[in-house]
Copies of this chain bind each other. A is one copy, B any other.
């Protein structure tokens, strides 16, 4: 009943322990005859390599880095908190993870951050990326040193990363549109949209997905040209007030980007009925606004799920084995009724 070990396999195959090990791990320098015998024994006994023992023996330590933009953005604060908490937990499993700050959304700064990583001997790094050619050379160098690189939240140039963990922002925009459309119940309407910057790929994609669905499935609705906000709460505040007061009779607001605090403040202070409101990312103030009935929907990318996945995928890539079955990642819809509890982790009872 006990699982067969490598020495069981070696014995069954009639070779030494070391030889069995060589074929299990494809270390080469083994006669074909021995390979065949070992393979047969593995299959017959149902041998499964004990990863924990292997890691112990080779003193495996997973050194991970997370490159995260600095700044007071609530979403990235949330990501950081999850990384720290997860890193702390996995210390006992030989994982050393740290957050490396890079100044926000500048390709040059990000490139410099990556260059700094090169000689620091990490096994894997997760990077909140950008689509910039500037990053390609340093990323290739990292990879050539055997460092596993993945994109997190925002993708890196495809050729130089092993995986991307983040939502599809076109899907996120489509989802926002579907629900906004539903909320009009077939009636007419005008939707005011806000974007931080059209250069930000995630913003552009969300807006595109949104417009696609409205155009295709809600012919009674019009999407007004987006107002540029630079993700600045005060810009959003101003823009929201003017959208609310305009005689265009706006029936819905959709903010593709950040800065929601300004939008929420403006709505909270407005008198009378308000348009249907959709924003992205569940953080303190957007959650509160949902609870207070100032906005209707929050489309969220579940940074907790993303971080969870990042650790699992990095580990799997470093070990060159398949990742465990993980929950899928997709834009998640929150209304005021299905909000998560305050605590990060509280299923268990005392």
Contacts and interface: CB of A to CB of B under 8 A. Distances in A.
Copies in the assembly, this chain: 2
A338 B331 contact: yes
Contact of A56 (B50, B179, B184, B344): B50
Nearest to A322: B89
A209 B336 CA distance: 13
A51 B92 contact: yes
A329 interface: yes
Nearest 10 A-B pairs (CB), nearest first? A185-B185, A174-B337, A52-B52, A328-B340, A333-B333, A175-B338, A178-B335, A305-B327, A175-B337, A182-B183
Given A178-B336, A325-B85, A338-B330, A348 B317 contact: yes
A29 B187 CA distance: 77
Interface string A47-85: 011111101100101000000000000000000001001
A348 B323 contact: yes
A18 B318 CA distance: 34
Contacts of A2: 59
Contacts of A307: 325
A99 to B, nearest CB: 15
Contact of A213 (B330, B337, B339): B337
A163 interface: yes
B174 A92 contact: no
A272 B48 CA distance: 58
Nearest to A347: B163
A337 B178 contact: yes
Interface residues of A, number: 75
A280 interface: no
Interface string A1-21: 011000000000000000000
A6 to B, nearest CB: 13
A91 B307 CA distance: 24
A52 B348 contact: no
A302 B178 CA distance: 21
A162 B349 contact: yes
Contact of A347 (B213, B329, B340): B329
A93 interface: yes
A220 to B, nearest CB: 11
A90 interface: yes
Contact of A187 (B185, B276, B327, B344): B185
Contact of A163 (B50, B55, B313, B348): B348
A323 B347 contact: yes
Interface in A185-230: 185, 187, 209, 213
A296 interface: yes
